[in-house]
Structure 1
C-alpha cells in the first residue's frame, strides 16, 4: 500500500472509488463533477489517497475553507484493512496543523462510517437537513 497526496491527475480514479461505495452512495452520480474535485484539491483543501498495485483504492479530502472533511471513501473490497484510518489521520493531522477551528462532516445513520467516526472520537452534534448525522472534531480531542 502506498499513501500519497492526491493530484489533479488522480481525479478519474478518485471518482471511480467514490462511485464504487455501497454506503453513503450518491443518489445522482453526476452531482459530483471533475470541477468539484479540482476545487477541493487545488483551492479549498488537500487530499490523500491509497494505491495498491498502482490503482487508487481509497481517498480522503479535507476542506479548510468549509472546515469539513469533504470525502473519505475506500473501495468495498479493501474495507477493514486500515486504509480509511490512515487517510483519516493524515487529513486531521494536516487540518489541525493549519487551524485550531473545529472540523465537521456528515454521514448516513446506521452505517459503518457512523461507527468509524464515533470510534475516532468525533462528537455527534445533531442532524443535517437531509437526516444525516453531523459530527464535529475539536483540536483538543484530536491531540489526545
Structure 2
C-alpha cells in the first residue's frame, strides 16, 4: 500500500473511485468533471491517493481557495481498513501547514462519513447544500488532536 500525492494522470482512476461509492453519491456523475479534478489538484489545492497493486483505492483533495475538503472517498471494498484516516490526516496536516484558517466540509447525514468525521474530531456547525451536515475543523482543534495522539502512543 502506498499513499502519495495525486497527479493529473491519476484523474481517470480518481473518477472511478468517486463513482464507486455507495453513500454520498453524485446525482449525476458528470457533475464532477476531469477538468474540475485537474483544477483542484493543481490550482486550488492538493490531493493524495492510496494505491494498492497499482490501483487507486482511495483519494482525498483539499481546496485552499474555499478552505474546504473537496473530496475523501474510498472504494467500498477498501473501507474500514484505516486508509481513509491516513488520507484524512495527511490532507489536514498539509492544509494546516499552508494556513491556520478553519476548514469545512459537507456530508450527508446518517452515513458512515458522518460518523467518520465526528470520530475524527470535526465539529458540526450547521447545514450545507441539499441538507448536508456542515462540519468544521480549526487549527487549534487539529493540533490538539495530533498532540493527544502523540502523547497516547
**TM-score normalised by the chain length of structure 2:** 0.93
Which residue matches 2:119?
119
Which residue matches 2:33?
33
User: SS state of the match for residue 143, structure 1?
Assistant: helix
Which residue matches 2:67?
67
How far the C-alpha of 1:107 sits from its partner, in A, is 0.2
In 1, the alpha carbon distance for the partners of 2:95 and 2:35 equals 22
Q: Deviations over 1:23-49 (max 9, x none)?
A: 000001111001100000010000000
Task: Give the superposed CA RMSD.
Answer: 0.5
| Structure 1 unaligned regions, length at least 5 | none
How far the C-alpha of 1:129 sits from its partner, in A, is 3.4
How far the C-alpha of 1:140 sits from its partner, in A, is 0.4
How far the C-alpha of 1:128 sits from its partner, in A, is 1.3
**TM-score normalised by the chain length of structure 1:** 0.99
Which residue matches 1:54?
54
* Count of residue pairs brought into register by the alignment: 144
Q: Which ranges of 4 or more aligned residues in structure 1 deviate by more than 6 Å?
A: none
User: SS state of the match for residue 19, structure 2?
Assistant: helix
